[in-house]
Structure 1
Amino acid sequence: MSDCLVIIPTYNEKENIVKMIHTVFSLPHDFHILIVDDGSPDGTATLVKDQQKEFAGRLHILERKGKLGLGTAYIAGFRWGLERPQYKYFFEMDADFSHNPNDLVRLYQACAEQGGDMSVGSRYVKGGQLQDWPWDRVLLSYGASLYVRLITFMPVMDPTAGFVCYTRRVLEAIDFDKIRFVGYAFQIEMKFATRQLGYKIVEVPITFTDRVEGISKMSNGIIKEAVFGVMQMRWRSFFSSYGIS
């Protein structure tokens, strides 16, 4: 019985999801998958359900109505997994292969064998890199990471990263009702909450590749949330904790 749950939010990922499922289940470590689908009109959920016939007990799906945000999708997945005591390690990963599924094993080892409470697939530590990105997007991404580090004082080189492993103890300690962000800034806030509560964050170098199939979900609203929200998050931290009261 697996103690690892890989949570993958989806919205219109029919080009990627079946290949992703098969790739994760081919890994040398035993992972379970939870797809959190936000009512994809392209039939992503139907494809997942078809795969459940082959991977019964290992592949799960949580269907939601409409696009409710990346952060709420992950929190819904966390809550689902925490209700099942077998899961000790929870993973965030994109469906589009920008995160290499083979690195799941390394993220797991960083927590299970190397003492991390959270492990982060990092583009900006030694050995990490970006592949097939235009220079302006690289500059924006690295600049955002530098900005977050300056505002939050987090010793995390890639605070915006979305390829993450959490131990159960971290997720059980965080009050999800205090997590404000629903877009990509959610990734920043979860790392900030983990750090604020005194847990150890370990970065694992990865190669991040731009998606090949499907359409990017990035928007101006997401960028604004990250820029202005980080300052608000830092200010609130002087007066409250992310811990469960």
Structure 2
Amino acid sequence: MTEPAAELGPHSDLGRVVMVLPTYNESENLEWIVGRIRAAQPALDVLVVDDGSPDGTGAIADRLAAADPQVSVVHRTEKLGLGAAYLQGFQVALDAGYDVVGQMDADGSHQPEQLYRLLDALRDADVVIGARWVPGGSVVNWPWQRQLLSRGGNLYVRLLLGMPLHDTTAGFRLVRRHALEKIDLATVRSMGYVFQTDMAYRAIRAGLRVAEVPIEFVERVRGDSKMSGAVARESLQRITGWGVRERGRQLRGIARRLRTR
């Protein structure tokens, strides 16, 4: 990675920015998506976090890093989940002194050409989420059943946890350094896809400024999706548990206020 702060053109005021890409069996997509990131935002660095992909993704990442000093790689020995990969990537980025840490999928569903929208919004926020379910947002090549499931899941989160966000499951984000430090990564236990909702929930509860900007999400055309029924059930169970605890806190707060009257 680059040592001095690179010039970010119109976004130079944000400091050093790195995009963290977790990978598992993304040999068909990695070079393509890294090339798009580097073309769209030449000053941004890229950190690939590979979970020991058996398809050679790690070797491709090493080759890209050898050819480009703004690309680096973390090799993990086993597949422990999306959240675990991001947590390690975030810590590596913080240790390297980055001011902004981004995250996005390596399969092309998040478009690097729209990164400028998140960078623009970060000037007035601590966390920016590239959202599908806000005005101007959209998805491409998703059947209506999957759209309904995602919209319904996000509505469930919003109502249960009282979060003023429309796309807490989205994985296209930028987070300022101080926001990650305030969230306290050492206490995060979500290892699967529910990690995205967990981080958004923690940011709201910490009083951070969280903004959503519209993006176009494009379903992957190469490789296999990592989403499964088991992953969805884990997310539902965890979010429901958080909601029950949140309502418990609210009821205890009401009870305390009534006693003091």
What TM-score, normalized to structure 1?
0.92
Choose 1 or 2 for highest CA Rg.
Answer: 2
Q: 1:163 to 1:83 in 2, by over 3 A?
A: same
Aligned twin of 2:13: none
Aligned twin of 2:104: 93
Aligned twin of 1:243: none
Per residue, is there more helix in 1 or in 2? 2
Q: What does residue range 123-138 of structure 1 map to in structure 2 within 5 Å?
A: 123-138=132-147
Counting matched residue pairs gives 235
Q: What does residue range 164-179 of structure 1 map to in structure 2 within 5 Å?
A: 164-179=173-188
Q: Distance in 2 between matches of 1:233 and 1:29?
A: 40
What TM-score, normalized to structure 2?
0.87
Q: What does residue range 118-197 of structure 1 map to in structure 2 within 5 Å?
A: 118-197=127-206
- Considering only aligned residues, what root-mean-square deviation do their CA atoms show, in Å? 1.3
The answer (yes or no) to whether the contact 1:89–1:108 under 8 Å persists in 2 is no
For 1:199, the aligned partner's letter is L
Aligned twin of 2:80: 68
Q: Distance in 2 between matches of 1:31 and 1:124?
A: 27
What 5-or-longer segments of structure 1 have no aligned partner?
240-245
SS of the equivalent of 1:26 reads helix
For 1:12, the aligned partner's letter is N
The answer (yes or no) to whether the contact 1:52–1:60 under 8 Å persists in 2 is yes
Q: Distance in 2 between matches of 1:103 and 1:137?
A: 23
Aligned twin of 2:32: 19
SS of the equivalent of 2:101 reads strand
For 1:34, the aligned partner's letter is L
Does the alignment pair 1:50 with 2:63? yes
Q: Distance in 2 between matches of 1:198 and 1:21?
A: 33
Q: Distance in 2 between matches of 1:29 and 1:166?
A: 19
The CA deviation string for residues 169-220 of structure 1, in whole angstroms up to 9 with x for no partner, is 1101122232222111100000000000000111010011110000000011
Q: Identity across aligned pairs (percent)?
A: 39
The CA deviation string for residues 74-123 of structure 1, in whole angstroms up to 9 with x for no partner, is 000110011122x1111110000100111222111211x3x111000000
SS of the equivalent of 2:40 reads coil
The answer (yes or no) to whether the contact 1:7–1:91 under 8 Å persists in 2 is yes
SS of the equivalent of 1:199 reads coil
SS of the equivalent of 1:53 reads helix
For 1:27, the aligned partner's letter is A
What 5-or-longer segments of structure 2 have no aligned partner?
7-15, 250-261
